[in-house]
């Protein structure tokens, strides 16, 4: 049968397939294997017929590439079939058998890829006029999701880059891709032999997890996805670990997933990241641990891994987000556990916690939230704490929180003014300075000045420590000049 010249890939594939089916009838060696190949060719022929029903098959890059790959495999099979028609196998029985198996495996892949391409809807999109941004995103995401499932590793890698770019543009694009079925495809790609594709897949999954309405789709993937991400925590790159932590933070809100993370070595891996990871990965790892620590049945795992010491170190040295998450984790851990509370006090954990609250309070919005959560009475307790560093941190927090008359009044009514007057009498210079700074804010409220004036220690300590501004404020209330 003569091969058509300058023909399209579809006609060429059909021609080669028909020619190969004729040749198989004359084969004398490995008839069983060739019978299996013949049945696969019949299935492939049906798919080629289905391709021809879509005009886009002749121009769609995915379809054209697949048809060319099919033609190449059919050419290989045709050459191999001619060798098997001879009584003697020039290249030997084992080599020929291996070549037949390789061709059979390629046909399996072509059949699978053809099925994916037909079912994807990409071939129907070829005749659709895109009339909106949303429709354009839908068509592009469908095309990219299909590319992730067929073709070479290089092609899939390129598609992953494009998909990540599309999803970064807009949360709506994430929701469109999720609706198109991207999540199951991503989970399968975590089994890829390509490390680069694996890491990019984790990055895409972390992006999906950042969109609230898409989290449930990731959670529905269950332990399969969870186990992949836990393996990334153990052996992935710094980049992959950070992205895996972001995804796990979303997945851990499912109690079943949280238990699985705790029972499968996840806590140990997360704590290692808290100790030696990048600043970003430390923060996200602590975020996952914060969620896990809220489950009573997992708390024992934290104790076994010496998590308290790691978290306290991170609360002292990490980024703002890492500090927030590590302190939140410690709070969840010590809830209803007096022994752990004492352990944290011994490790000077309270100092870091109070100091961190001071940093947060520099934002008026966060300061308002702290006040609404009845934080001020707790601050007064910290001012009277027996640990010097805690008192200093608390005094600095008072200074930051005293940004308006309302908070100054509330702190005065809770006893902060009296506690700060007492601190002025302390031995440490740093304590006196912190107390004086806090009082400089509180005494702007008239009621607090009255408390200060009525306390003998206040006047004496102000004079002894050179707090002239205190005396000025008091003089002003009496109508005198300073």
At 93-121, the pLDDT tens digits run 899 899 999 999 999 999 999 999 988 88
For residue 406, being part of any structural domain is answered with yes
pLDDT value at 474 more than 70: no
User: What integer is the mean pLDDT of 272-284?
Assistant: 94
End-to-end C-alpha distance for the chain, whole angstroms: 112
At 397-412, the pLDDT tens digits run 898 888 888 889 999 9
pLDDT value at 272 more than 90: yes
Query: DSSP label at 427?
Result: S
CA distance 435 to 421: 7
User: What integer is the mean pLDDT of 5-14?
Assistant: 78
Task: Report the CATH number at residue 113.
Answer: 1.20.930
Residue 137: predicted pLDDT: 87
Tell me which range, 273-287, 310-324, 388-402, is most confidently predicted by mean pLDDT: 273-287
Residue with the larger pLDDT of the pair 456 and 478: 456
Residue 366: predicted pLDDT: 64
Name the average pLDDT for the chain: 85
For residue 106, being part of any structural domain is answered with yes
Local confidence band at 362 (pLDDT 50, 70, 90 cut-offs): low
For residue 427, being part of any structural domain is answered with yes
pLDDT value at 358 more than 50: yes
Tokens of 313: 């170190």
- Which residues have a Cβ under 8 Å from the Cβ of 351 and sit 6 or more positions away? 387, 389, 390, 393
Residue 361: predicted pLDDT: 63
pLDDT value at 348 more than 90: no
Residue 470: predicted pLDDT: 57
Q: Beta-carbon neighbour count of residue 313 at 10 Å?
A: 15
For residue 251, being part of any structural domain is answered with no
Strands, DSSP E only, in 72-129? none
pLDDT value at 38 more than 90: yes
At 147-172, the pLDDT tens digits run 999 988 999 999 999 999 999 999 99
Residue with the larger pLDDT of the pair 409 and 1: 409
Overall number of domains in the chain: 2
At 198-234, the pLDDT tens digits run 999 999 999 999 999 999 999 999 899 999 999 999 9
User: What integer is the mean pLDDT of 335-350?
Assistant: 68
For residue 23, being part of any structural domain is answered with yes
pLDDT value at 249 more than 60: yes
For residue 194, being part of any structural domain is answered with no
For residue 34, being part of any structural domain is answered with yes
pLDDT value at 448 more than 80: yes
The range of the structural domain enclosing residue 70 comes to: 9-85+100-122
For residue 331, being part of any structural domain is answered with no
Q: What is the 3-state secondary structure (H, E, C) of 175-230?
A: HHHHHCCHHHHHHHHCCCCCHHHHHHHHHHHHHHHCCHHHHHHHHHCHHHHHHHHH
pLDDT value at 324 more than 70: yes
């Amino acid at each position: 049968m003569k091969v058509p010249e300058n023909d399209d890939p579809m006609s060429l594939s059909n021609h080669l397939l028909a020619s190969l089916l004729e040749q198989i009838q004359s084969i004398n060696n490995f008839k069983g294997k060739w019978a299996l190949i013949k049945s696969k060719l019949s299935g492939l022929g049906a798919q080629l017929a289905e391709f021809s029903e879509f005009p886009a098959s002749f121009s769609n890059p995915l379809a054209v590439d697949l048809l060319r790959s099919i033609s190449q495999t059919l050419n290989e099979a045709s050459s191999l079939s001619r060798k098997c028609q001879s009584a003697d196998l020039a290249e030997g029985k084992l080599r020929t058998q291996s070549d037949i198996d390789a061709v059979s495996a390629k046909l399996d892949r072509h059949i699978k890829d053809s099925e994916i391409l037909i079912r994807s809807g990409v071939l129907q999109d070829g005749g659709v006029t895109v009339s909106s941004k949303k429709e354009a995103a839908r068509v592009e995401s469908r095309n990219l999701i299909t590319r992730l499932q067929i073709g070479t590793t290089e092609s899939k890698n390129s598609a992953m880059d494009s998909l990540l770019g599309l999803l970064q543009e807009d949360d709506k694009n994430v929701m469109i891709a999720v609706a198109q079925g991207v999540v199951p495809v991503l989970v399968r790609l975590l089994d890829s032999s390509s490390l680069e594709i694996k890491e990019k897949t984790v990055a895409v999954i972390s992006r999906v997890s950042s969109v609230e309405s898409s989290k449930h789709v990731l959670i529905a993937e269950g332990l399969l996805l969870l186990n992949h991400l836990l393996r990334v925590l153990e052996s992935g790159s710094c980049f992959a670990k950070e992205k895996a932590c972001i995804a796990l933070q979303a997945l851990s809100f499912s109690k079943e997933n949280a238990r699985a993370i705790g029972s499968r070595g996840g806590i140990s891996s997360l704590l290692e990241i808290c100790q030696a990871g990048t600043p970003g990965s430390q923060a996200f790892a602590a975020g996952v641990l914060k969620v896990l620590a809220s489950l009573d049945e997992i708390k024992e795992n934290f104790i076994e891994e010496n998590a308290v010491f790691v978290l306290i170190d991170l609360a002292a040295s990490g980024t703002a987000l890492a500090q927030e998450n590590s302190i939140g984790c410690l709070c969840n851990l010590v809830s209803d556990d007096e022994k752990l509370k004492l352990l944290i006090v011994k490790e000077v954990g309270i100092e870091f916690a109070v100091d961190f609250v001071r940093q947060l309070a520099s934002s008026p919005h966060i300061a308002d939230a702290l006040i609404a959560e009845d934080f001020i009475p707790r601050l007064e307790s910290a001012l009277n704490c027996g640990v010097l560093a805690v008192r200093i941190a608390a005094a600095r927090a008072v200074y930051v929180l005293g940004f308006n008359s309302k908070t100054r009044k509330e702190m005065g009514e809770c006893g902060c003014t009296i506690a700060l007057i007492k601190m002025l009498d302390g031995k440490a210079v740093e304590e006196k300075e912190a107390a004086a700074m806090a009082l400089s804010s509180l005494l702007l409220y008239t009621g607090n000045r009255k408390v200060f004036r009525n306390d003998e220690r206040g006047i004496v300590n102000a004079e002894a420590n050179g707090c002239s501004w205190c005396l000025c404020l008091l003089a002003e209330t009496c109508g005198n000049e300073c």
